[in-house]
Structure 1
Amino acid sequence: MKRALSRTAASVIAGLTLLAGAGLTTPSYAQGEAPGCRRAGPQPPGTTTPHTLVSGGLTRTYQLHLPEGYTAGRAWPVVLAFHGRGNTGSGTEEFSKLSTLPAIVAYPEGVVGTGDGQRQAWQGAPYAAPGVDDVTFTGDLLDALETGLCVDRRRVYTTGKSNGAGFTALLACRMSDRIAAIAPVAGAFYPGTGENCRPARPVPVIDFHGTADATIPYAGDPDRGLPALRDWLTAWADRDGCRIRTPDRSTAPDITESRWVHCAGGAEVRHVAVAGGGHTWPGADSYSGGGHTTQSIEAHEVMWKFLRRHHLR
């Protein structure tokens, strides 16, 4: 009887397989690929082009880079890269080298905020534009990318510099169902980037910060509500349910890595401290902020080795 049931089950499975081959089952994009896998790309592979979309009644802009070899025949990971206060998507693309990764990369533009110089900024910072919902904008941007491109919705990552890095933390809090992992660089983690942070799942983090950062001090700045980096990392490791912090490891004369492992859901928290590093992007060949820029590592390469191991289940 058991053998007969096994043969019946095998026949059912075989039949479903044939139906799938005939295109009579759920489309493959339901397993991670986006609807854009059915369409030609909006621009040639290997290029960066400005685009716009309307979100929250505002016309928002972003630079979109398609990797070399992009086709709609496979689902590609996505990296969203958020500029620092007063910077631009184009400027971030230039110094970050993120467009060399085998991924679709979008560089969104913030809205002009308040304070000194009224520069572009992101939600969560005290100088962000009042009433602008950048979290909703990020969701709308992902919707647009998924509609027009062959995106792997399980492998969407965010990174950013300074204010943009702080915003990645807010996205991890609010959009953990769509963001697989984050990689903040010289992050400005103001209170608004983490208040009532209850991600729906543990979010993997790799963080970069210079110990001599004069803009966002490594030791924190209580007057501005900025935490010490170690405190922020420990809090995130606790949020991810990490049980073990491994011994710090030196990977270069000025680079020390810290790791929190055995976290819930396969998450991990990693920190890359740059001894003497300024408010800069490690490995940048052009200006990325004040202070020393290490050339011991390339941040885009280090983060990619981490990010590509994590995906939404």
Structure 2
Amino acid sequence: MTIVLFTIFSFTGCRRRDSIPIDNVFRFKEILTVDGLQRTYTLNLPPTYYTSSDFSLVIAMHGGGGNADQFETTSKLTDKANTAGFIVVYPEGVQSDGLLKARTWNAGGCCDYARDHNIDDVNFIRQLINHLISTYKINPKRVYATGHSNGGMLSYRLACEMPEKIAAIATSSCTMVVKQPCNPSRPVPVLHMHSVKDEHVPYKGGVGISNAYFPPVDSVLNVWSAINACSNPAQVLVNDNRYKYTKWSDCEDNATIQYYLTQDGGHGWPGGLPGGPNSDTPSTVINANDLLWDFFQQYQLP
């Protein structure tokens, strides 16, 4: 495994990442070679990084056709990370060889180039976590995965295949499309956010705009309820003209499953910006960044 470092300096000068340098650096664009592929990512450290320790890490994965810069901008997650004091990393899917050079993740049954070329994105994220934990002041028990659309789908796959690394997941505008049975070694808390107006990945399941079939979100979360051994069935706690909030509780290891289904928005990151010029307007009745951080803080690996 080879690491090539491209650093964005706040000033100039050298520094160590585990102590207070003369010139603090908070943002990095790096390349990690995994399985012979050069994998890229952007890392952001919070303002308190060089004076504190024991940081949580949130892995934030873009949707199909997106990239690190786009997802950072449209999600506004770096603003939340800087305010709340956690580290966020934006890895990038492998670029296709087509005209659009679209980046996708291999989440199992989706999507496109990454799926068709059997890219091992689970191993990429595993190696990324190992590298970041060994390099930065990260608590290995407090690593979380989140993602939009195709990135959310990969979050589900990580929960199935790498639960020893991921304490909890939070997903938006997606569903689970794993091809192998999901048998994690431990319960994994799940937060899911979706819009009733999402036509790209319909929450009721079916064929979206991309002509791919997606399983219904309710059925996916019921599967996770069984995996997490939740003794309470789904309870609807809020159901009004803004959103429907459903929770599965009394699960093994106190893992919960929470589901926000908004009446507004579409295929977008709630509380964020549209993903592009022709993208849906995100929901404004919930804020994904606030919800996921409140959710993640409840959980850590045993």
Q: TM-score range by the shorter chain?
A: 0.7 to 0.9
Partner residue in 1 for 2:69: 90
Q: Which residue of 2 is the match for residue 213 of structure 1?
A: 198
The residue aligned with 1:282 is 270
Q: Does 1:77 align with 2:69?
A: no
Determine whether 1:120 maps to 2:103: yes
> How many residue pairs are counted as aligned between the two chains?
275
Pairwise CA distance, 1:188:
4.1
Contact 1:44 1:66 in 2 (8 A): no
Distance 1:267 1:160 in 2: 19
- 1:300 to 2:263 alignment: no
Cα–Cα, structure 1 residues 265 and 146, in superposed 2: closer, same or farther, change >3 Å?
same
1:175 counterpart = 2:162? yes
- Residues 141-198 of structure 1 deviation map (CA, whole Å, 9 limit, x = unaligned): 0111011100000100000010000000000011100100000111143243xx2211
Comparing 213-222 and 148-157, the one that deviates more = 213-222
Q: The residue matched to 2:226 in structure 1 has which SS?
A: helix
What RMSD, in angstroms, separates the aligned Cα atoms of the two structures? 2.4
Say which one has the larger Rg: 1
Matched, 1:140 2:127: yes
SS at match of 2:225: helix
SS in 1 for 2:259: strand
Distance 1:72 1:138, change over 3 A: farther
Partner of 1:235: 223
> Alignment partner for residue 190 of structure 1, among 177, 185, 197?
177
The one-character-per-residue Cα deviations of 1:198-237 (angstroms, maximum 9, x if unpaired) are 1110000000001110100111116734111111111111
Alpha-carbon distance between aligned partners in 2 of 1:282 and 1:231, rounded to the nearest angstrom: 22
- Of 121-130 and 233-242, the range deviating more from structure 2: 121-130
Distance 1:279 1:123, change over 3 A: same
1:240-255 → structure 2 map (5 Å cutoff) = 240-250=228-238, 253-255=241-243
Superimposed CA distance per residue, residues 223-270 of structure 1 (whole angstroms, 9 cap, x where no aligned partner): 734111111111111111111135312277412210000001111100
Q: Is the 8 A contact 1:114 1:127 kept in 2?
A: no
Residue number among 247, 255, 261 corresponding to 1:267 in the alignment: 255
40 and 225 in structure 1: CA distance in 2 versus 1, 3 angstrom threshold = farther
- Partners of 2:129 and 2:224 in 1: CA distance: 25
User: Which residue does 2:94 correspond to in 1?
Assistant: 111
Is this contact kept in 2: 1:37–1:73, CA < 8 A?
no
Partner of 1:8: none
Deviates more, 1:284-293 or 1:143-152: 284-293
Look up the equivalent residue of 1:211 and give its one-letter code: V
Q: 1:42 to 1:123 in 2, by over 3 A?
A: farther
Query: Does residue 53 of structure 1 match 2:32?
Result: yes
**Separation in 1, partners of 2:242, 2:76:** 21
Kindly indicate whether the alpha-carbon contact (under 8 Å) linking 2:264 and 2:285 is maintained by their aligned counterparts in 1. Answer: no
Please tell me whether the aligned partners of residues 105 and 111 of structure 2 are also in contact (alpha carbons under 8 angstroms). no
Structure 2: runs of 5+ lacking an equivalent:
1-15
Identity score, percent:
30
| Structure 1 gap ranges (5+) | 1-35
TM-score by length of structure 1 reads 0.81
